[in-house]
Amino acid sequence: MTTRLVSTSIWRHNPGEHHRRGFFVRAVLFILLSVNLSACAAVVYTPIYPEAMASPAKTNVYVATNRGTNEAGFFDRTRGDSSVYLRATISLPSDRKPGEAPKLSNKPDFSQHYVLADQQNFDTADAFSRDIRDVAHKWPAAENEVVVFVHGFYNTHANALFRSAQIKQDFGIPGPLVTFSWPSAGRALAYNYDNESVLYARDDLETLLLSLGRHGPDKITLVGHSRGSLLITETLRQIEISEPGWSHRNLHNVLLIAPDMPVEVFRRSVARYQSLPQPFFLMTTSEDRALRLSSRINGTDQRLGQITDPAQLGGLPVSLIDVSNFALSDSNNHNLFAESPALISLLRNQKAAESLMDTLDTREPNSLAQTVQVIGDTMAIQLLPTDDPGPL
């Protein structure tokens, strides 16, 4: 499918009217964005509920954050002077379904809401990384890795923490998962604040990644969603400038999901990398309504997460995974990777993963791929739902 573009006839007016209409349209789009993006109306914080340790469904998530704290000591939207490193135990509803977004409340019912049950602090990034390494080494060599997840726009600390717990459980990630919780405001009308927070967070994400490279597990998988993809791309760029080849040497793979950034900015940024980590995936969909709004607000034709044509990537050694066929009619599809049960089932299934990698190697479509396009070193695969992707 193709992305529908808004007619430009609205701008054909005198300069003053152009300005007024431009402001009005952007204001309306921001309001629509606030309606379509899922988040809690009231800010939910993360106090520790020790009694939730008795809950039957729990998972551990590591947290690195450069958020500041409010007077009560809870992480908020402010930008902290340094990073904090934690290991959190999260209680999840035991009867939740895969793809079901986390439910949050300041007066939680443990049978319905995600809550923080326990938390351990680490004094330094290196102590944090060594603990992650020790946990990862308990798993077979093939699974001796850490997944680092970087959230996107419009996320409070609670949103980021509990979404990470959901991802870890739904995708059956056996080893440690780290969520990097950068100071997003968690507000629909704070897009510019979040943009500036991305710039603010680059050095702190760099500190985390370099520490994991020195002291962490053998493999680092780096995953970014939405605006978090820009943070990853820019952080790796600055690492590459000071340590050429670091990304290729230290990252097992990179996955950018629904990346909210201009295509040309991505291409210019990765041009400074000595070589891209392999494999390097972009998960995109033409059905992402949130990115359509972002395109209009930012005055661009498309965001990176909307493209399905490999020609737009200029032959970069990147695998573009188009998941448009999994789009949900009642969703803005910006969190499709975490909210489509069919896509979750497909991506966590070992046989499906092997089949996908075979497609990357042979460059031939199979039962999972509707089309395969190759331009230069760029490959684009359009995934299909399967009748039996495997159990959740």
Contact between 29 and 296 under an 8 Å Cβ cutoff? The reply is yes
* Predicted pLDDT of residue 74: 98
* Predicted pLDDT of residue 169: 95
Q: Which residues contact 203 (CB under 8 A, 6 or more apart)?
A: none
* CA–CA separation, 57 and 169 (whole Å): 10
- The DSSP line for 259-311 is --SBHHHHHHHHTTSSS--SSEEEEE-TT-HHHHHHHHHHT-S-BGGG---GG
Kindly report, residue by residue over 211-266, the tens digit of the pLDDT: 999 999 999 999 999 999 999 999 999 999 999 999 999 999 999 999 999 999 99
* CA–CA separation, 93 and 109 (whole Å): 9
**What's this model's pTM, rounded to 2 decimal places?**
0.88
Residues facing 59 on adjacent strands? 90
Kindly report, residue by residue over 18-46, the tens digit of the pLDDT: 444 444 444 333 333 433 444 445 799 99
Token representation of residue 27: 């204001």
Contact between 157 and 46 under an 8 Å Cβ cutoff? The reply is yes
Kindly report, residue by residue over 353-379, the tens digit of the pLDDT: 788 888 888 888 777 877 899 999 999
Token representation of residue 36: 């379509």
Q: How confident is the model at residue 13 (pLDDT cuts 50, 70, 90)?
A: very low
Query: According to DSSP H, which parts of the chain are helical?
Result: 15-36, 125-136, 157-170, 191-215, 227-242, 246-250, 263-270, 289-298, 336-339, 341-348, 350-362
Check pLDDT > 60 for residue 350.
yes
Comparison of pLDDT for 170 and 356, the residue scoring more:
170
Beta strands, E only, 46-138: 58-69, 75-91, 115-122
* Predicted pLDDT of residue 387: 62
Check pLDDT > 80 for residue 200.
yes
Q: What is the largest CA-CA distance in the chain?
A: 67
* CA–CA separation, 116 and 347 (whole Å): 27
Distance between start and end Cα atoms, the chain: 29
